[in-house]
Amino acid sequence: MASASFHSPSRFATLVNRPRIWAVASIHADLNRLQTVHDALEQRLEPRDGLVYLGNTIGRLNAARATIDELLSFRRGFIARPGSFVDDLVFLRGSQEEMWQKLVELQFAPDPVAVYQWMMDQGVGATLESYGFAAGEGLAVMRQGPVAITRWTNNVRAAIKAVPGHADFLISLRRAAYTSANELLFVNAGIDARRPLSTQKDTFWWGGSGFFDLAEPYSGYRRVIRGFDREHDGLLATDHAVSLDHGCGFGGGLIAACFNREGEIVDCFEA
């Protein structure tokens, strides 16, 4: 996919005049479940529906490359529907994509060996393998100093750029998405209710604790919807928060749910 197919990236995405918004939970490179979800969505989508992938599309399983190809292919079909626009489909950044961005900047890390090993423990190694890199070889490079690390990270960047659309996909990821009248807010893992949206920063992918403690709408949003839950407890909902993660990539299912602008779940299924 040519880079012109994506708008210039910004931190947040706005879904304009979409009466229903579909949200897909963390995928973690489970290609088979994603394809099943896409097959079902093709039958359930209505005109003017929006679609948000809630981050962690890669990581944990080693089909990241094929998973991004599947996402880009479905995106092309989605925005080609009559009445659809490029901004009606949004990809969010999750912790996996955030770690991937830090991975290709490891030459600047104060302790690249420790950071690299931590990333491998979090499932980033599977994404590396999908692009042809061995996790163990990377660890050896981390011990060789900044020049060797820079050469290695440049090779990783080049491998991403060599696959059509993948570099554009990774730079297009948004921190959060919301509906144009501020009814719904979509995030990866959590928010800090004490802080405004503009200062959440990495809370979006590391701040899942206390997600269900919202006693009132956060910043006026009727509901906040997230796609990653460290407990993978499935579909959970309170008056002001909804969590969709049932452990896709950890052996569990992939949830897709459809919300109207009042925040009600009007359709939901799991693959």
Whether residues 69 and 182 fall in one domain: yes
Task: State whether 36 and 151 are in the same domain.
Answer: no
Look up the domain containing 63 and give its range: 11-94+173-270
CB atoms within 10 A of CB 15: 23
Tens of each residue's pLDDT in the chain, 271 residues: 333 355 545 799 999 999 999 999 999 999 999 999 999 999 999 999 999 999 999 999 999 999 999 999 999 999 999 989 999 999 999 999 999 999 999 999 999 999 999 999 999 999 999 999 999 999 999 999 999 999 999 999 999 999 999 999 999 999 999 999 989 999 999 999 999 999 998 999 999 888 999 889 999 999 999 999 999 999 999 999 999 999 999 999 999 999 999 999 999 999 9
Task: State how far the Cα of 265 lies from the Cα of 11, in Å rounded to an integer.
Answer: 26
Task: Tell me the CATH number at 68.
Answer: 3.60.21.10
Structural domain ending residue among the three candidates 108, 128, 161: 161
* 50, part of any domain: yes
Q: What gap in Å lies between CA 85 and CA 106, rounded to an integer?
A: 37
| 215 within domain boundaries | yes
DSSP label at 8?
P
Q: Is residue 5 part of a domain?
A: no
Both 266 and 183 in one domain: the answer is: yes
**Strand order across the beta sheet in which 176-179 lies:** 12-15, 176-179, 184-187, 223-226, 241-243, 236-237
- What are the CA-CA distances from residue 250 to residues 30, 74, 117 (Å)? 9, 24, 20
Name the domain count of the chain. Answer: 2
**Residue bearing tokens 């990333």:** 119
**Is the pTM value of this prediction over 0.75?**
yes
